[in-house]
């Protein structure tokens, strides 16, 4: 958890900020603070913030080890979510419910994309699932 202000108080909004930092770490493959990065890039949040609202600029932040094997559209949505989470104004950060909703929408988009690529596999995978059961997959950003 990050400190929500200089007094050191922790809050739900500081947890949201921390989640935004984790999203940035996942997108970039970098640590939140890394003194091995060039000057001006030590603090991931400060460095990445200007690149998070535009697909072309986002490419500068994306982990090169991913080798482009991701949806840039979904990566941008995650980047915008991260940007909302790391907002300087804690009151304007999303709630965890809003974050979950956004992440679920991204997961649904990913599943729909998979079905378009190979509809038979998706049908077979859903045959034995109860409509009341909730099956959360391992976290995946793209």
Q: Which domains does the chain have, with CATH numbers?
A: 12-126 (1.10.510.10)
Helix axes 72-85, 12-28, angle to 10 degrees: 150
The SS3 assignment for 141 reads: coil
Tens of pLDDT along 22-64?
999 999 999 999 999 999 999 999 999 999 999 999 999 999 9
Largest CA distance in the chain: 56
> Is residue 140 a contact partner of residue 71, using CB atoms and an 8 Å limit?
no
Q: Tell me: the pLDDT tens digits for 80-118?
A: 999 999 999 999 999 999 999 999 999 988 888 877 777
Percent of the chain with pLDDT over 70: 77
Question: Within 10 Å of residue 28's Cβ, how many Cβ atoms?
Answer: 23
Q: Which pLDDT band, with edges at 50, 70 and 90, does 130 fall under?
A: very low
For the stretch 7-25, pLDDT in tens is 667 899 999 999 999 999 9
Q: What is the pTM assigned to this prediction?
A: 0.75
What are the tokens at 136? 């959360």
């Amino acid at each position: 958890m990050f400190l929500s202000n200089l007094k050191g108080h922790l809050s739900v909004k500081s947890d949201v900020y921390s989640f935004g930092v984790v999203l940035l770490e996942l997108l970039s493959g970098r640590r939140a603070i890394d003194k091995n990065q060039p000057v001006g890039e030590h603090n991931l949040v400060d460095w990445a913030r200007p690149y998070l609202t535009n697909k072309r600029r986002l490419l500068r932040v994306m982990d090169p080890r991913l080798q482009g094997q991701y949806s840039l559209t979904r990566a941008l949505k995650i980047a915008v979510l991260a940007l909302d989470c790391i907002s300087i104004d804690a009151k304007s950060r999303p709630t965890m419910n809003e974050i979950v909703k956004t992440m679920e929408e991204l997961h649904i988009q990913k599943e729909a994309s998979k079905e378009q690529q190979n509809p038979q596999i998706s049908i077979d995978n859903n045959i034995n699932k109860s409509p009341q059961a909730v099956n959360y997959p391992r976290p995946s950003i793209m």
